[in-house]
Amino acid sequence: MSDLSFDLGEPAPPPKPEAYRVLARKYRPQTFAELIGQDAMVTTLGNAIKRDRLAHAFLLTGVRGVGKTSTARLIAKALNCIGADGQGGPTIDPCGVCDPCIAIAEGRHIDVIEMDAASHTGVDDVREIIEASRYSAVSARYKIYIVDEVHMLSKSAFNALLKTLEEPPAHVKFLFATTEVNKVPITVLSRCQRFDLRRIGSDKLAAHFAHVVTAEGFEAEPEALALIARAAEGSARDGLSILDQAIAHAGLEGGGVRAVVVRDMLGLSDRGAVRAMFALLLGGDSAGALAALRKQYDLGVDPLSVLRTLLETVHGVTLAKVGTEPDPSQPVEEREALADWASRLSFPILHRLWQLLLKGHDEVARAAMPIEACEMALLRVIHASQLPDPGDLARQLADGKTPAIQAPPQQPQPAAAEPVAAAPLPASTAPALPDTVEAIRDLLARHGRHALGEAVRNHARPTRIEPPEIELGTQRPIPSDFARDLADELKRITGARWRVTTSDAAGQPSMREAEEAAEAAKEAEVRNSPVVAAALAAFPGARLLGVTPDRSVG
């Protein structure tokens, strides 16, 4: 019976549009070259493949979104690739066109089994793997088991896996991925070759996002991509999800991905505005700082986000002060501002700012009225920065002096003005400028700077002391910031501008060296006295434990 067909003249149905794939899936790496920031792991794996020294089990660790599962699939490709001509072997550069490569990329290869340990935690699930692993691969070179979030397996499941994991069949490879490697038993860790996937740097993420935006036919401001990269916290998947949302915003408003849109979308505070607020805090301008905070709040910025950015600013200033390389993802004006503050703020001031802001952040996180709590936290930062340490107050009172506490200024000061950590003593009560190392150490101790005073005792070998100038010998090394910190602290205490310089001369012995020399001389004198010398001779092996000063009263 012949087939009959009828042409009714109806148009062919339009092709079904391809379903949209989110960027995190669309741009999942398909080759090791596309894997971001894991060069060390790729090199190690490539050398192992070339030398035919493949482990039977691999453990991939790292934070979310760095590419653990993608790397496991790439390893499966690398081990099972047969090349475009069907004659190839394991390679670090899988062809991507042979049947195994295509099937693995599409997640349908019969010999590459993926299991989510979060939903298959029991010993029965592992027992199925053990039973199936005895049989050879159907079509691939290796039968590969990819177990995601392996730390979720139960203790009994891990125990059941141990023997097979230690001596698996030659045709089986295990690939484990986890975000919490500390929860994986050491007995399992010892049977795996471990790769720690690194958190991806903000600069690399921003460059990757720029490539994705271009491929998607959009434009994006570099600052917008830097904001997304910073918010991703080293996770390519999280960053691509944020970028997906930012592109959707751009599509609605027209134009490209803009920094202002990303900032509003993420609820981030304007870093430029927060830098201006930080300058107001350092200048003691209470009204200006509160007005700047309210402006951010009216724009929809969370008070907790403001404090977090202020903490990041203090941290950035501190890193700049110790000489850390600047973050390339930071705008130029931000790096310049951090460097300027680093040259003006001392470490004690930065530590105090950090502690005050951190306490404010914790309070705002728990507060029933966040904006009010944030305002009180900023006021505490302004007023506390004007007060001397409690130890300073106690010592001034003990010395019979009236503590001098400077009220915060009523008018804004320039951003570049040096902040006041503690007011200098009034002229009527200010001590005479110290002209010896001992006097300098005692002055620092009276004002609570015991650590710096101890550093003076250990390292200060003066060649010249003519207040307010000090020249120190450096024939023996001294801490890099010692001279600068000493000058800053003496200026803060005395009100005079001190100048502490160094020279190549030997200088006088430090206080500690002089004390040790005096103790050695006294011990030698006692040891050579007739009574002690006779005692030491009478009792061989006896030791002189110490020399006690003569406390006899005449």
Tell me the CATH number at 359. 1.20.272.10
Residue 551 lies in a domain: no
The range of the structural domain enclosing residue 173 comes to 23-196
- What Rg do the C-alpha atoms of the chain give, in angstroms? 35
* In the block, residue with structure tokens 């001509």: 85
Q: What is the pLDDT at residue 176?
A: 93
Residue 10 lies in a domain: no
Q: Judge contact between 69 and 175, C-beta under 8 A.
A: no
* pLDDT exceeds cutoff 60 at 305: yes
Hey, is 199 helix, strand or coil?
A: coil
Which of 196, 228, 258 represents a domain boundary (last residue)?
196
* pLDDT exceeds cutoff 80 at 518: yes
**Distance separating alpha carbons of residues 237 and 492, to the nearest angstrom:** 50
Residue that wins the pLDDT comparison between 553 and 210: 210
Residue 130 lies in a domain: yes
Are 142 and 280 part of one and the same domain?
Answer: no
Are 187 and 44 part of one and the same domain?
Answer: yes
Which of 490, 508, 526 represents a domain boundary (last residue)?
508
Q: Judge contact between 220 and 256, C-beta under 8 A.
A: yes
**Amino acid identity, position 60:** L
Which of 234, 266, 298 represents a domain boundary (last residue)?
266
Are 168 and 282 part of one and the same domain?
Answer: no
Q: What is the pLDDT at residue 158?
A: 92
Q: What is the pLDDT at residue 145?
A: 93
Residue that wins the pLDDT comparison between 122 and 539: 122
Are 443 and 385 part of one and the same domain?
Answer: no
Q: What is the pLDDT at residue 362?
A: 93
Tens of pLDDT, residue by residue over 206-250, are 889 999 988 888 888 888 888 888 888 788 888 898 888 888 877
Span 37-60, average pLDDT: 87
Q: How far is CA 463 from the centre of its chain?
A: 42
Residue 545 lies in a domain: no
Hey, is 435 helix, strand or coil?
A: coil
Average pLDDT value for the chain: 81
* In the block, residue with structure tokens 């803009």: 258
**Distance separating alpha carbons of residues 267 and 11, to the nearest angstrom:** 50
Q: What is the pLDDT at residue 1?
A: 47
Q: What is the pLDDT at residue 17?
A: 61
Residue 428 lies in a domain: no
Q: Judge contact between 146 and 69, C-beta under 8 A.
A: yes
> Alpha-carbon dihedral of residues 63, 69, 75, 76, nearest 10 degrees?
160
- When divided into structural domains, the chain yields a total of 4
Can you list the alpha helix ranges (DSSP code H) found in 367-481?
370-384, 390-398, 437-446, 450-459
Tens of pLDDT, residue by residue over 77-103, are 999 999 888 888 888 889 889 999 999
Q: What is the pLDDT at residue 548?
A: 56
Tens of pLDDT, residue by residue over 445-466, are 888 888 888 888 888 888 888 8
Which region among 183-192, 325-334, 468-477 has the lowest average model confidence (pLDDT)?
Answer: 325-334
Residue 101: count other Cβ atoms within 10 Å of its Cβ: 23
Are 146 and 261 part of one and the same domain?
Answer: no
Which region among 117-121, 392-396, 431-435 has the lowest average model confidence (pLDDT)?
Answer: 392-396
Q: Which has the closest alpha carbon to 448: 386, 490, 392, 384?
A: 392
Residue 160: count other Cβ atoms within 10 Å of its Cβ: 20
Sign of the C-alpha dihedral computed for residues 207, 209, 212 and 218 taken in this order: negative
Q: How confident is the model at residue 489 (pLDDT cuts 50, 70, 90)?
A: confident
Cis-peptide, bond into residue 414, ω within 30° of zero: no
* pLDDT exceeds cutoff 80 at 411: no
Span 139-152, average pLDDT: 91
Q: How confident is the model at residue 36 (pLDDT cuts 50, 70, 90)?
A: confident
Q: Which has the closest alpha carbon to 67: 241, 245, 238?
A: 238
Span 384-395, average pLDDT: 58
Q: What is the pLDDT at residue 427?
A: 41
Return the percentage of the chain with pLDDT > 70, whole number: 83
* In the block, residue with structure tokens 């072997």: 89
Contacts of 446 (CB under 8 A, 6+ apart): 395, 399
Structure tokens given for 351? 């530590």
Q: What is the pLDDT at residue 62?
A: 87
Q: How confident is the model at residue 429 (pLDDT cuts 50, 70, 90)?
A: very low
Are 176 and 230 part of one and the same domain?
Answer: no
Q: How confident is the model at residue 554 (pLDDT cuts 50, 70, 90)?
A: very low
Hey, is 137 helix, strand or coil?
A: coil
Q: How confident is the model at residue 415 (pLDDT cuts 50, 70, 90)?
A: very low
Q: What is the pLDDT at residue 373?
A: 93
Contacts of 536 (CB under 8 A, 6+ apart): 527, 542, 544
Are 287 and 371 part of one and the same domain?
Answer: yes
Structure tokens given for 350? 């930065």
* pLDDT exceeds cutoff 60 at 4: no
Burial of 428 (0-12, 13-18, 19+ CB in 10 A): exposed
**Distance separating alpha carbons of residues 46 and 30, to the nearest angstrom:** 16
- CATH number reported for the structural domain that contains residue 227 in this entry: 1.10.8.60
Return the percentage of the chain with pLDDT > 90, whole number: 19
Q: Which has the closest alpha carbon to 351: 322, 374, 394, 376?
A: 322
**Amino acid identity, position 412:** P
Are 38 and 136 part of one and the same domain?
Answer: yes
Tens of pLDDT, residue by residue over 238-279, are 889 888 888 887 765 556 888 878 877 776 666 778 888 998
Q: What is the pLDDT at residue 433?
A: 86
Span 182-210, average pLDDT: 89
* pLDDT exceeds cutoff 90 at 146: yes
Residue 419 lies in a domain: no
Residue that wins the pLDDT comparison between 278 and 550: 278
Please give the full DSSP string across 296-364, using - where no structure is assigned.
HHHTT--HHHHHHHHHHHHHHHHHHHTTPPPPTTS-HHHHHHHHHHHHH--HHHHHHHHHHHHHHHHHH
Q: How confident is the model at residue 424 (pLDDT cuts 50, 70, 90)?
A: very low
Q: Which has the closest alpha carbon to 401: 422, 424, 430, 423?
A: 430
Which region among 6-15, 27-36, 412-421, 488-497 has the lowest average model confidence (pLDDT)?
Answer: 412-421
Tens of pLDDT, residue by residue over 155-165, are 999 999 998 88
Q: What is the pLDDT at residue 347?
A: 86
Q: Judge contact between 249 and 220, C-beta under 8 A.
A: no
- CATH number reported for the structural domain that contains residue 145 in this entry: 3.40.50.300
Most confident by average pLDDT, 244-258, 368-382, 408-422, 439-453:
368-382
Are 207 and 169 part of one and the same domain?
Answer: no
For 257, which DSSP code?
A: B
Are 101 and 46 part of one and the same domain?
Answer: yes
Span 109-137, average pLDDT: 90
Residue 397 lies in a domain: no
Residue 159 lies in a domain: yes
Are 192 and 169 part of one and the same domain?
Answer: yes
Residue 142: count other Cβ atoms within 10 Å of its Cβ: 21
Q: How confident is the model at residue 408 (pLDDT cuts 50, 70, 90)?
A: very low
**Distance separating alpha carbons of residues 319 and 306, to the nearest angstrom:** 20
Task: Provide the pairing of β-strand 193-196 with 57-61.
Answer: parallel
Residue 472: count other Cβ atoms within 10 Å of its Cβ: 25
Span 121-135, average pLDDT: 89
Are 247 and 378 part of one and the same domain?
Answer: no
Which region among 300-304, 461-465, 531-535 has the lowest average model confidence (pLDDT)?
Answer: 531-535
